[in-house]
A and B are shown apart, each in its own frame.
Chain A
Amino acid sequence: MPSEWISPHDLAALWLTLKLAAVTTVVLLILGTPLALWLARTKSRFKLAIESVVALPLVLPPTVLGFYLLMLLGSQGPIQALGGPALAFTFTGLVIGSVFYSLPFVVQPLQNAFAGIERGTLEAAACLRAGPWDRFCSVMLPLSQRGFLTAITLGFAHTLGEFGVVLMIGGNIPGETQVVSIAIYDHVEAVDYASAHVLSGLLLALSFLMLFALYTINGRIKMVLP
């Protein structure tokens, strides 16, 4: 039984973390793909500004991002003032925070992949009767497989390791907003090193395995698509 070496409490944190990472990755793919597509093709003067905003989470302390999100989503924030739902300290709030936090890890690989596809290749598809959506599915998606794989893996793995943003807007409600990284922090605070070891080891192994799988698969695709 897993409960012999991992407490139900920690198991819930692990489950919640995986769920958060999965939901965040799906949301990021849905929002990030059109954004990356736009960034890869546009000549708009706003492009550089938007690119900088997307990259901000790379350099900003997560607590700063978390703080602003708390201000936005919290009980005194504009969303609740306009009659919106209370999002701070809920799972939805965590997803919103994670989406911002992991945005560059999804958008940048996708943008690079899309930019690497020659305009001429898409024009050829158009002259072969493929409409815009058809061109996206039959040419852009297969030619940017590696970009998508990288985006999914990095987006998922990066969300797994999230700490600062979650702490700021999610707090530490077990079973609801407590993720693994915060559970580890709690265990260390309580000098329960054994439990901290189990969770840390799990997170380490999981992250390594995902990255290893990514590099292996990317290497294979490279051989097929030079």
Chain B
Amino acid sequence: MAEKVEIPVQKWSGRVREVTFGATKDEGGSRSRTVTVGGEATLPFLHFEGEIPHPPRVAIEIQDKKPEEWSPLLIKVWEEVIDDPAAWAKRAEERGADLILLRLSLDDAQGEENTPEKAKSAVRKVLSATSLPLLVFGPGQVDKDNELLVAVAEEAAGERVVLGVCEEKNYRTIVAAALAHGHLVDSRTPMDVNLAKQLIILIHDMGLPLDRILMDPSTGALGYGIEYGYSVMERLRLAALQGDTMTQQPILVTPGEEAWRAKEAKVGEGVPEAWGDWEERAIMWETMTSTALIEAGADVVVMRHPESVRLVKEAIDKLWMKEG
């Protein structure tokens, strides 16, 4: 005779905040629809335990010029659109993106310095080519990030774009730009729960409402420190559910960038034959990294290869099915 097993249910006192990307025409933007994440009242996919109003979302990363340093596999798969951010954004939308992340480069395709005007133009083109909400990340150099993102914030005023990345040493200018033009920010810290919370406090202290801040605790790829990233995300999410208010932000992580940095994904030569087919392995590397992080509580994963995106979205769909 089958024993009836009672599933223990944990009652949490806190929940994750909801954050909405993008703005429709009525809301002062031009997106066809917005995307909301967060709101979880329990751990990932435990639908029997508490409310999870929104599934995790996938952003596809594109760049304002052909990213020569990317793996040849990525360059090949986006080959037809890689020189045109507008076409790339459109193709990414067709390949299943929920959100588009545009990364600005230090130099343009001609090797000349990127400028606020060029950045504005790239953002404008991408906004026209896709109706998905947008995230715009700077090239990762303090002065250039600030210069370009301030211009982008102005150009995209009202669109509720996510500006990134804010780091402990450089967040004020970006937050001020987000405040002035109605945008959101990505708060990035290097895999540490204390620092993750601290930067949220500092950004919020500048007056940016908490429903406009994404928590980006950083991560490592499969085989390259993913367990640290996973633990930090898990700890932050547990704290959020226990009512620790400054950790209750939706989590954004960038497994695409991390996975494609790993040798296993990036290169096909000079690796053991036993590793098998390069493309298959690379796609799996990104897929496994992203899926693991979604299990740890990621609300948004930023990815690069359309086939990995398809596999991850399939996994999300399966995990999202609620019983009964």
Asked if A pairs with B, the answer is no
Measured CB to CB, the residues of B under 8 A from A are none
A residues engaging B (CB < 8 A)?
Answer: none
